[in-house]
Amino acid sequence: MNIFDIFSLNKHGDYQEILFSSALSYLLNPKLEKQIGKEFLKHFLNSVGINVSGDQLENVSVKSERDLGEKLDEDIGRIDLFIETKSLLIGIEVKIWNKSANNTSKSGEEQLLRYARGLEAIAKHKKKGWLLLFIVPHLHAKVCAREYSKLVEQNPSHAKVLPLMELRGKAASRFKKLEGCLETELSTILSSFKGNSEITDSMTKTLINDLHNFLTEDVRKRLYKGNPDPQKFPSNADLQEECEEFFKLLKPFLSHSGKWANAQHTTIGIPHKLENPDVIWPYKALYRIRTTKKYYTTIDQKVDNYPKSPLEIELWSDVYKECKDELDSWITQTKSVQKSQSSNHLYRGPKVDVEIVLIERVLDESEIENFEQILREGFMKLIGVTGEN
C-alpha cells in the first residue's frame, strides 16, 4: 500500500484524482520541491515535446488550481496545473477517471474548450504562446477522446494529450488519428526519472515511487474498476483498431450474414429441438465467430480478452453431424483452414461441445458462400425442412 491508498481510504474517486494532481503539482513546482530543483519540470516538459533549456525556465512559475477566467471576466474554472515559462503558458488538466471528463458549464460549453479560451486570453495579454496538455487515464478512454477531439478541432496547434499509462500494446485507438497524441506515457516519464542520482531526499523518493506505482502496480484495479463496459463483445471499431490481423480475417465474413443472426454477437445456444421452425430465421446463427475469449464487464477485461489470429468459428455439433462429409471436404480443399473441437462454447449456461474451424488466411467471397451454403443445408436437415421457404 502506498500513500495514495492511505490518504484516499475513506474518500471517493474524485478525491483520488485530486490527490494525484496535487502530487504531480508538487513535483513539477521547483519552489516547492527544491531538492530536485527544475530537473523534473525540465524532464517532464521535454518528454511531452516541449523543448526547454535552463534559460527558458528562469523565473518559471508553477501554480495549482489556476483561475483561467481573469481576462474574460467570467467563471471559466480552475485548471489543475498552470506553468508559465519565459515564452509559453502551459495548462495541464488531469483525468485519471474517464467519466470525469464529462464536464460542461451551465451554458453547455465543454471544460476543455472553456480552458482553451481562458489560456488564449491570458497568453494574448502576456504576449506568449500557449498549450493545453490533457492527461487521460489511457488512450481507450471514450469520454476523454470525445472531449479532446472537440478541443483539437478548434485548436489543433495548441493541444496535446498524454496517457497516464499504456493499457495494452498499441493502445492508441480513440486518439491515434487526432493531432497532438503523444507516443509516451506519464508512467514512462516517471520511471525514467526514478533513478536520478540527484534525488537523495527520502520523502521525494517515496513520492516519485508511489506516484509511479499508483500507475503501474495493479493499475486496472486502481484506475479502471469504476469504468464499466456493458458490452459482452468488442465492437468492430475496437477489432479494426486493436486487432488488425484478426480483423483482416473477419472482414470478409461481415457482409454474409443475410437474414441469419449476426455471427459475431449471437448468444443463442445450440439450434436443436425446435418445435416451430418458423422462429429460426431471426434468432439463429449459422455459426459463431469468436471475437472475445470470454464475457467481460470492464474496459481492461475487454482488452485482456481481445482475439488473436487465427479466426475461430464455432459450429453447432448437431448441425455439423448433418453436413460432416461436405464440410470436411470444403476444409480439405480450402487452404489454411483447420478443424478442432472445444467444449468452451461462449455461453452463460453449461459448457457445450462445439466444432471449431480455424481460418488462417483471408477467404474470398466464393469460399465463404460455399461454407455457409453447406451449413444452411445441414441446418435444414437438422430441423426437417427441405427448403428455406
pLDDT tens, position by position, 13-24: 566 778 888 888
Q: Would the pLDDT of 196 be above 80? A: no
Residue 253 is predicted with a pLDDT of 85
- The helix (run of H) or strand (run of E) holding residue 20 is helix 13-28
pLDDT at 225: 53
Ranges of beta strands (E only) in the chain are 61-67, 78-84, 88-94, 129-136, 159-163, 288-289, 311-316, 337-342, 354-359
Three-state SS for 342?
strand
Q: Which amino acid is at 303?
A: V
**Burial of 313: CB neighbours in 10 Å, binned 0-12, 13-18, 19+:** buried
Q: For residues 218 and 226, give the distance between their C-alpha atoms in angstroms, rounded to a whole number.
A: 14
pLDDT in tens, 259-282: 455 565 544 344 444 444 443 443
Report which listed range, 49-63, 70-84, 341-355, is most confident: 70-84
Return the biggest CA–CA distance within the chain: 85
pLDDT at 205: 82
Average pLDDT over residues 85-89: 91
Q: What is the mean pLDDT of residues 55-83?
A: 88
| The pLDDT of residue 270 | 41
What is the average pLDDT across 368-388?
A: 79
**9 CB-near residues (< 8 Å, 6+ apart):** none
Residue 364 pLDDT level (bands cut at 50, 70, 90): very high
Mean pLDDT comparison of 139-143, 184-188, 197-201, 224-228, highest-scoring range: 184-188
Inter-CA distances, 381 with 161, 317, 319, 367, 374, Å: 57, 13, 8, 22, 11
Between 67 and 242, name the one with better pLDDT. 67
pLDDT of 387 over the 60 cut: no
Q: Tell me the C-alpha distance between 357 and 21, whole Å.
A: 50
Where are the domains positioned within the chain? 3-223, 236-382
How far is the C-alpha of 281 from the C-alpha of 274, rounded, in Å?
12
Which three three-digit cell numbers place residue 210? Answer: 508511489
- Residues 6 or more apart whose CB falls under 8 angstroms from that of 152 comprise 159, 178, 179, 180
- For residue 170, what pLDDT band results from cuts at 50, 70 and 90? very low
Closest CA to 195 of 310, 350, 371, 40: 40
What is residue 4's predicted lDDT score, i.e. its pLDDT?
63
Highest mean pLDDT among 167-181, 186-200, 213-227, 339-353: 186-200
In percent, the amount of the chain with pLDDT more than 70 equals 75
Least Cα distance to 315 among 303, 304, 328, 306 occurs for 328
Which strand ranges, in their side-by-side order, compose the sheet holding 288-289? 288-289, 311-316, 354-359, 337-342
pLDDT in tens, 110-144: 999 999 999 999 999 999 999 999 999 888 788 89
Distance CA 21, CA 95 (A): 9
Residue 230's pLDDT is 59
Whole-angstrom Cα Rg for the chain: 27
In this prediction, residue 169 carries a pLDDT of: 41
- Global pTM? 0.60
pLDDT band at 108 (very low <50, low <70, confident <90, very high): confident
Mean of the pLDDT values across residues 219-230? Answer: 54
Share of the chain above pLDDT 90, in %: 24
> Mean pLDDT across the chain, nearest whole number?
79
pLDDT-derived band of residue 388, with 50, 70 and 90 as boundaries? very low
Note whether 137 and 163 are within 8 A (CB): yes
Grid cell in block for residue 321: 453431424
